Amino acid sequence: MKRIEIINNRVSDDPFPSRVKRFGGRCLFAALVMVASLGLGWADSWESIRNAASRVDSISADFVQEKHLPILTKPLISKGRLLYRRPDALRWEYTSPVKSVLLMHGGDARRFIQSDRGLVEDVSVRLQAMQFVMPEISGWLGGRFQGNPMFDAKLTGINTIVLVPKDPGMARFIQRIELLMSDRPGVIEQVLIFESDDAFTRMAFSNTQVNPALDDRLFQEVQ
């Protein structure tokens, strides 16, 4: 695999106000719900979800993301792959149309984006957000949706979980999230994130592997 230059822009003083950081944290938090849901499945009761989730230690999947907006003549399509390893390692990578990589490991989160100078770090995502996000992910991957401080969860229809934000700030951002489970335990088919009734993101997963061996390097290095 071709190695891509990383330009590290970390400096001691930070130009982004705390408002930006909080907002970035919220974006990241919402987005991570999609990732966490990958580890679920076989969802006809909370107990079966917890049972299926308890057997998931790592996940690898490709995804196609469709963005639907009223002003778009056709949805915007992005592609990429996700890797997760319990308890706190994540690689969320877009390969098209714009390359970007979000890496989380050991409580640290960094995102790199394509630029004319190679992959450069996006400091708006370099947050303390992981202090509260990772415990949430662990909870979700453990199938513990009930009692979650951020979302009300309910099982609806066949193999579908609906998450509704409790926090008014989050509710302005995300109306609800629908997780559609595959027949295969521990595997999800798609995630729908509704920002409003006519604006939503659909993520469809494929080539999902449960419990693959994932090297540390995948969560620490952009390559």
Partner 1 sequence: MRQCSRPIGFKIINSARPVRKNRIGGKPRRPIAQSKLIFLTLIVVWPLAACAYMPTIQPVDAGRQYRVEARCRSIYPEGRLQLVHAINARFHRGYHTALTGVIILSPADSRVHCVLMTLEGFVLFEAEDNGTVTVNRAFGPFDNPEFAKGIMRDIRLIFLAPEGEMQTAGTFADGTEGCRFRTDDNRFVDVVGAADGSWQIKQYKPLKTVALDALDPSGFSSRLTLHAGGKASYTLVMTLIEATSLQ
The structure tokens listed for 203 are 């993520």
Q: Does 16 bind partner 1 (CB under 8 A)?
A: yes
CB closer to partner 1, 37 vs 201 = 201
Q: Is residue 100 close enough to count as binding partner 1 by CB under 8 A?
A: yes
Restricting to residues 122-161, which ones interact with partner 1 according to CB under 8 A?
A: 122-124
Q: Does 31 bind partner 1 (CB under 8 A)?
A: yes
Using CB under 8 A as the binding rule, whether residue 69 contacts partner 1 is answered as yes
Q: State yes or no: residue 27 binds partner 1 (CB under 8 A).
A: yes
- Interface residue with partner 1 among 1, 12, 47, 73 (CB under 8 A) is 73
Amino acid in position 4 = I
Residue 125, token pair as written in the block: 């995502």
What string of DSSP letters covers 71-93? T-SS-EEEEEEEEEETTTEEEEE
Q: Give 16 or 132: the residue with its C-beta nearer to partner 1.
A: 16
Q: For the chain, where are the E strands, in sequence order?
A: 6-7, 58-68, 76-85, 89-96, 100-105, 108-115, 118-122, 151-156, 160-165, 176-181, 188-196, 199-210
Please give the single-letter amino acid code of residue 210: V
- For the bound state, the minimum distance from the C-beta of residue 166 to partner 1, rounded and expressed in Å, comes to 18
Beta pairing class for 199-210 and 118-122: unpaired
Residue of 1, 3, 47, 71 interacting with partner 1 (CB under 8 A): 71
Cα–Cα dist 185/168, whole Å: 33
Q: According to the binding rule CB under 8 A, does residue 20 interact with partner 1?
A: yes
Give the residues lining the site for partner 1 (CB under 8 A). 9, 11, 15-17, 19-20, 22-24, 26-27, 30-31, 65, 67, 69, 71-74, 76, 78, 94, 97-98, 100, 113-116, 120-124, 172-174, 193, 195, 199, 201
